[in-house]
Amino acid sequence: MRTAREILAGAHTIAVVGASRDPQKPAHWVPKSLQEQGWRVIPVNPHADRVFGEQAYARLADIPVHVDLVDVFRPAREAPRLVREALAIGAGGVWLQSGITSPQARQAAHDAGLEYVEDRCVGTERALAQMVVGGTTPRSEVYRGLRPRAEPEVRPLVRHHRIGAPGTEQHPVRLSAAAPWLAPKHRAVCRSAPRVWTEGRARTRICRIRARYGASAPT
């Protein structure tokens, strides 16, 4: 028997029994996420006409196309009946969502040679395997209203600006050698330096550099 992820990767059309019209319920956004990644998802809900843009059907037997996998969002007591209905339409497998287990349904699927998964979320398995239809890596899409953050802009460090003491005749000092954290407009580019250099602080720093290096200051 194939693993749960292999069953999902081999399916192209999934019938979702118990699909919900409420976007806040897992029975809506889980199959919706599969639909966004390329699976054809057919909702089975006798109380709805359309769910996530697809025609809804009252029963599995009403679906006019072949179904590869039946995904169940219904109570465990209904699972044996749904396994029999899946067998009747020639579905390839039955998947019971997280929290749903049924020994009777498991035994019926085993006796009929039907692939069977229980107590696992089809959306979680898809996300963990980074899977789309065909088994390739998905593109970055909106998932439950979230978008990936843009990468922050990386600004290059300023290294070779020259500074001089205002109003005095001094040799220029190379910034990268004497004060690598002092940038144009007196803004720091080093974690160890103050956030903002005021004009008075910058002049004081420049004078200290001149007093230390004098005529032998590096250029």
Between residues 207 and 155, the one the model is more confident about? 207
Structure tokens at 127: 């996300």
CATH domain 4-128 topology: Rossmann fold (3.40.50)
Asked whether residue 118 carries a pLDDT value surpassing 90, the answer given is: yes
Beta strands, E only, 49-178: 50-51, 54-55, 69-72, 93-96, 115-117, 162-163, 173-174
- Given pLDDT bands bounded at 50, 70 and 90, which one contains residue 131? confident
pLDDT digits over 59-85, tens only?
A: 999 999 999 999 999 999 999 999 999
Average pLDDT score, the chain: 77
pLDDT digits over 136-195, tens only?
A: 444 444 444 444 555 566 665 544 444 444 554 444 444 444 454 444 444 444 444 554
**pTM of whole model > 0.85?**
no
**Backbone CA torsion sign across 29, 30, 31, 34:** positive
Strand, coil or helix: what is 117? strand
Over residues 189-217, the mean pLDDT reads 64
Within the chain, all domains assigned CATH 3.40.50.720 are found at 4-128
pLDDT of residue 153: 64
